[in-house]
Structure 1
Amino acid sequence: MSATTVARRYGKSLLTLSKEQNAVDVVEQDMRALIEAAKENRELSTILASPVVRPEKKEAIVRSVFAGAHDLTTAFLALLAKKGRAGLIAHMAEAFVSLVREERGVVLAEVVTAVPLDDARRSEINVLIGKVHEGGVELSETVDPQLIGGFKLRVGDRMIDASVFESLRTLHRNLTNNPYEPAY
C-alpha cells in the first residue's frame, strides 16, 4: 500500500476521532502547525522518518515536541510513532487538513505571483474562483520572481498559467519550431 494511501487512512481515523470529541477545529490547527513545523524543521522530519531511531524514542520525541497540542493530537501522533509510522506524520497531517477542507466544501487554490498580492488582487482571485466553485476558498500564496509578471493559479486539477514567463516561453517555442521559408 502506498504511503499516501496509508497517510489518508490515518487522516480519516483522526478526523473521525476528532468529530467524536468535538475537537475538529483544534486538531486542525494542530495539524496545520505540524505541517509548518515539518516544512521549517527538516531535522524533525528526518528523525521521524529514520529507520535507525527506535519507535520508543520517536514516541518520546513526538510527545515532547507536541506537548502543547490537544490531547487527542498528541496521543494520535504518539500512537503513529509507536506503530512505526512516524515517517508518515507530516503526510497524515496534510491528508487530515485536506479531508476537513472536503467536508466543509472548501477548495484549495494555489496562486503563484511575481510579487506579493495586495488585498484588492486577492479579492479578485477569490471572486474569480467563486464563479467556478461553490463554497469557500482557501488561498495559498507563493511568490516566484521568475514569473516576471502575471500569475499561475491552480484549483484542484485545473491550472491557469497567465505568467509573462510562460508567454515568453510559448513565443520562443513558436518561433523556433516554425522556421521562415521564403515563397520565391
Structure 2
Amino acid sequence: MAELVVKRYATALFDVATTENKVKQYEEEVADILKALRDTPDFVAVLHNQKVTLEEKVALVEKVFSNQVDGPIVGLLVLLVKKNRQRFLVQVLEAFLEMVKKQAGIIKATVTSAVQLTESQVDTIKVKLEASTNSKIELETIIDTSIIAGLIIRVGDKVVDASIRGKMQTLKKQLSELRLA
C-alpha cells in the first residue's frame, strides 16, 4: 500500500513538472525541500504530532514553503498533510527525484567494499558500469568490513557479489547440498 501511495503522488508531481516543462526547476526545489526536512527533524515531528491540528499543519507547510517553491509542489505537500499521509512525504519526494533521474537516463548504483576505495578505483568502476549499461551512472560507495574483501555492485535490481563473504556463502551452500554416497 505504501509503495502505491508513494508512486501515485510522485508520478502526479512528475506529470505536472513535465507538462509545465519545469522538470529541472522542480528537481532543484524538491532537492532543497528534502535537505531542509533532513536538516530540521523538528519540522517533520510537528507534522506527525497528533496534538497539532490539521489546519495548523497545513498553515505551517504553506508558510514555510509558499515563497520557496512552485505552487504545485506546495499543493502536493499540503495534499499529503490533508490526507494524513505526511509520513510518506520524504519517500514521495525521493521517488520524484528518481523519476527525474530515470528520464535523464541516470541509473543509481552502489559499490560495497571492505575498505575505502581510491578515487581512481571508483572512477574505473563507474566508467565500466556506464559502458556496460549504456547509461550515466550515479555511484554511491559503501564500506562494509563484513564482506571481508572484494566488491558487491548493485545496479538497479541486479547484484554482482564478488566478495569473499559471498564466495564463502556460495561454497557453504554447495557443500551442504553435496551428498556423499
> Shorter-normalised TM-score: what interval?
0.7 to 0.9
Identity %: 29
Q: How does 1:107-146 map to 2 (within 5 A)?
A: 107-146=107-146
- Structure 2 unaligned blocks of 5 or more: none
Deviation at 1:96, TM superposition (A): 0.5
Q: Secondary structure at the match of 1:112?
A: strand
Deviation at 1:159, TM superposition (A): 0.5
The aligned length equals: 180
> Does structure 2 conserve the Cα–Cα contact (< 8 Å) formed by 1:63 and 1:78?
yes
Distance 2:168 2:39 in 1: 34
Deviation at 1:149, TM superposition (A): 1.9
C-alpha spacing 1:105/1:69, structure 2 compared with 1 (3 Å): same
Name whichever of 82-91 and 38-47 sits farther off.
38-47
Distance 1:39 1:139 in 2: 21
Distance 1:175 1:127 in 2: 37
**Structure 1 vs Structure 2 CA RMSD:** 3.1
User: TM-score scaled to structure 1, two decimals?
Assistant: 0.76
Q: How does 1:25-40 map to 2 (within 5 A)?
A: 25-35=24-34
- Code of the residue aligned with 1:90 in structure 2: it is V
- Structure 1 unaligned blocks of 5 or more: none
- Code of the residue aligned with 1:6 in structure 2: it is V
State yes or no: 1:162 paired with 2:175: no
User: TM-score scaled to structure 2, two decimals?
Assistant: 0.77
> Does structure 2 conserve the Cα–Cα contact (< 8 Å) formed by 1:26 and 1:70?
no
Distance 2:49 2:19 in 1: 33
State yes or no: 1:96 paired with 2:82: no
> Does structure 2 conserve the Cα–Cα contact (< 8 Å) formed by 1:48 and 1:58?
yes
